[in-house]
Amino acid sequence: MSEISIAENTQLQTIRDLSIATFRQTFADTNTEEDMRDYIAHGLSPEVLGKELADPLQTFFVATVDGVPAGYMKVNLGTAQTERMPDDHAEVQRLYVLADFKRHGLGTRFMRTAEQFASAHGKQTLWLGVWEHNEPAKAFYRKMGFVETGAHTFVLGSDAQTDLIMKHALTAC
């Protein structure tokens, strides 16, 4: 049985473990080990993740399957968003599922959770950035109703990469 819940501050290590494992599974084949280590050390450190977890404008959700952590999502509101957006927008900054748990509907359930969470906070649009070469993720987001509206730069170690900005109007849900 699977469950998605809002993460507690006590789940910092679980979030960090999921963050590192899913990031490596998703991007290790297409990036240098040095860039991966640099991003993990600086972007997924206990200090950074702990600060994010404590911020009321940043909410982590954890999925478990039969009690085993399977993935996580992070939704940002207001000034916590990684790009300046209108007040009625919420950002899905991270949505990752461990490889062993993919193709079981967790991504869709995470996205529905994000929609409900954003709507409950008075938001009308969800947005996210997805690496331009991450074809499976782009296809998933399109299936979920997202459309490409722009791009921004994501720096992974020493590599400046292009993320596509995709948006989804919640009123159309």
Instruction: For residues 60 and 8, give the distance between their C-alpha atoms in angstroms, rounded to a whole number.
Output: 8
Domain that holds residue 49: 2-172
For 42-75, write each residue's pLDDT tens digit: 999 999 999 999 999 999 999 999 999 999 999 9
Decide: 113 and 4 in contact? Cβ < 8 Å: yes
Q: Which of 129, 61, 122 is nearest to 86 (CA)?
A: 122
**Domain of 93: which CATH number?**
3.40.630.30
Q: What pLDDT is attached to residue 22?
A: 97
Annotated catalytic residues are 141
To the nearest whole number, what is the mean pLDDT of the chain? 96
Total number of domains in the chain: 1
Q: What pLDDT is attached to residue 173?
A: 46
User: pLDDT below 70 — which residues of the chain?
Assistant: 172-173
Q: Which of 84, 80, 107 is nearest to 93 (CA)?
A: 80
Strands of the chain (E only): list them.
2-6, 58-65, 68-76, 89-97, 125-131, 147-156, 159-169
